[in-house]
Amino acid sequence: MGPGLSTLLLVATDSIGLYVVLGVVVLILLWMIGTYNGLVRVRNHCDESWSNVDTELKRRYDLIPNLVNTVKGYATHEQEVFERVVQARNRAAANEGTPAAQARDENELVRSVRQLFAVAEDYPDLKASEHFLQLQEALTTTENRIQRARRFYNANVRDLANRIEVFPSNILAGLYGFKKREFFEIEDSSQRQVPEIDLD
């Protein structure tokens, strides 16, 4: 084998090695770009779904004063319940903290609305009022929408957490400062309390 052929083989081997190294670098770059973009997409889904939750919560806040005023017209001596509902509503509406902080205020609001409905149970004329029934239906519909929005938000939070924790995407998530989000857990105001039965 002459010196020309061995030089050619050496150059070809070096070229193949160079192409392999370039191919690996390109694959790593493509993986990094795809993983980073995936993390950004899931984070944006979390932001969007939280916005949907916020919209539905505001719809509830708008309904509650009308509901309180309607019940007030029939049950004037239940002032403490009315004040509790209004205070809980105002606290929840003013909360702009984390989902966990918002959930605490929302759960208090749900409990106070349950008390308001318990008051309404004692007034047959109120329960038969068309306006009250419409408000009750609107609130039930809103509660269902809140639950759907909450589930969608929590699913996105779970997906983001998975991407942040799973290897190898956790490397990029840590490198670029992606943070997990809090789940939003609230009670459903349409749920009824289980009655206590005293057998004594």
3-13 residue pLDDT tens: 566 666 666 67
Domain assignment of residue 56, yes or no: yes
Domain assignment of residue 197, yes or no: no
State the pLDDT at residue 11. Answer: 62
Domain assignment of residue 200, yes or no: no
Structural domain including 166 reads 7-175
Q: What percent of the chain has pLDDT over 90?
A: 60
Write the CB contacts of 160 (distance below 8 Å, at least 6 apart in sequence). 39, 42, 43, 45, 46, 178, 180, 181
Q: How confident is the model over 164-173, as a mean pLDDT?
A: 93
Domain assignment of residue 77, yes or no: yes
Residues 135, 69: Cα–Cα separation, whole Å = 11
Domain CATH for 110: 1.20.1440.20
Domain assignment of residue 188, yes or no: no
Closest among 57, 79, 19, 80 to 146, alpha carbons compared: 57
Could you give the count of Cα atoms lying within 13 Å of 25 in the half-sphere of its Cβ? 6
- Total number of domains in the chain: 1
Domain assignment of residue 187, yes or no: no
State the pLDDT at residue 124. Answer: 86
